[in-house]
Amino acid sequence: MYLRKSNSYTENTVYPGLREIDIKRGMLKKAKDLIRSIRSNHPWLKLNKEEFFRAAGLIRYDSTIGKSGYTLAALMLVGTDEAISSYLPYYKIEAIVRKQDLMRYDDRLTVTCNLIDGYELLNGFIEKHLPDKFYLDGKTRLSLRDKIFREVIANMLIHREYMNPIPTTLVIYKDKLVTNNANKPFAYEKLASQLCSYPKNPHIATMFAQMGFAEYLGMGSRSFNIGTLRLLCGLVDMDSVDDMCDEIRMMKVNRGPVSIIGSGGNINKLYRLVSKKVRLDNRLSLVQLERL
């Protein structure tokens, strides 16, 4: 009930008790190597450990408890098996083959490790049990199996609600593959009407995108109940401001420079009224506003 009514992302839950020793050794280097393979000049590659985690939104300040710490997203992405088991004892991902024995299973993999290692284990399970038929894209050999199911696995891990104890399952049958995931719906309507994307775990999604596990496109953008008057009247929850800042930082990393031209209901209209040269400069000064 709490999860259903909550407007915040549970991946942002801060665990002050999580220590550096709870981060699996070698995971930061592994993450940076994966990022480097996609983008050699990525700005995160020059950061030290704490700066990296803060840039990725994996260390946050929780105003409700007055403390900073690693988040649930950090625990799930790079935590040790022991730390994950301590904080989320119910967490597991079951990969099962049911081709001959439909009541039990022909083969099974239980994943209880962090998501980066789990992603590789699950892809290995797919490679073991699904055929990789020959396919040419023009003159280039392409693995349709890897292309399709790497996307399936990435989305399965990104879009799970990790506060929900229902395990994630991936079941391979003779004629199909079925996944099941715990989730937190943001609306209760017919699926046909839900034609817009909605981000589930944006920090986990961003890390997956930076490492080349998934595409950022389609993750959607958020609307925040933050306005100038609401801020001036003290009606805005500062956690919402932190979430908005995290969203802008992620957009900057994934989509290039962000130009913010002002705040207020009429600022966009004023921006359209100025000359094209001013708009190309991406700046609207106070003098130019007064002239309007």
Polymer length of the chain = 292
> What's the pTM?
0.71
Residue 274 class from Cβ within 10 Å (0-12 exposed, 13-18 middle, 19+ buried)? middle
Helix (H/G/I), strand (E/B), else coil: 95: strand
Between 18 and 186, the higher pLDDT residue: 18
Annotated domain spans of the chain: 2-223, 260-292
How confident is the model over 194-205, as pLDDT tens digits? Answer: 445 556 788 999
Between 16 and 139, the higher pLDDT residue: 16
The whole-angstrom separation of Cα 56 and Cα 208 is 11
How confident is the model over 92-126, as pLDDT tens digits? Answer: 999 999 999 888 999 999 999 999 999 999 999 99
Task: Tell me the CA end-to-end span of the chain in Å, nearest whole number.
Answer: 51
Between 152 and 267, the higher pLDDT residue: 152
What pLDDT, on a 0 to 100 scale, did the predictor assign at position 34?
Answer: 94
The whole-angstrom separation of Cα 247 and Cα 63 is 18
| Residue 1 in this model has a pLDDT that exceeds 50 | no
Looking at every residue in the chain, the average pLDDT score rounds to 82
What pLDDT, on a 0 to 100 scale, did the predictor assign at position 106?
Answer: 95
| Residue 255 in this model has a pLDDT that exceeds 60 | no
- 5-21 burial, b for 16+ CB within 10 Å, e for fewer? eeeebbbbbbbeebeee
- Closest among 196, 174, 175, 173 to 186, alpha carbons compared: 196
What pLDDT, on a 0 to 100 scale, did the predictor assign at position 4?
Answer: 45
- Long-range (24+ apart) CB contacts under 8 A made by 245-253 are 246/57, 246/202, 246/203, 247/202, 247/221, 247/222, 249/55, 249/57, 250/57, 250/202, 250/203, 250/206, 251/221, 253/43, 253/44, 253/55, 253/206, 253/210
The whole-angstrom separation of Cα 60 and Cα 55 is 10
Between 260 and 32, the higher pLDDT residue: 32
What pLDDT, on a 0 to 100 scale, did the predictor assign at position 200?
Answer: 78
Mean pLDDT, range 167-191, rounded to an integer: 82
Do 42 and 35 form a contact (C-beta atoms < 8 A)?
yes
Do 60 and 68 form a contact (C-beta atoms < 8 A)?
yes
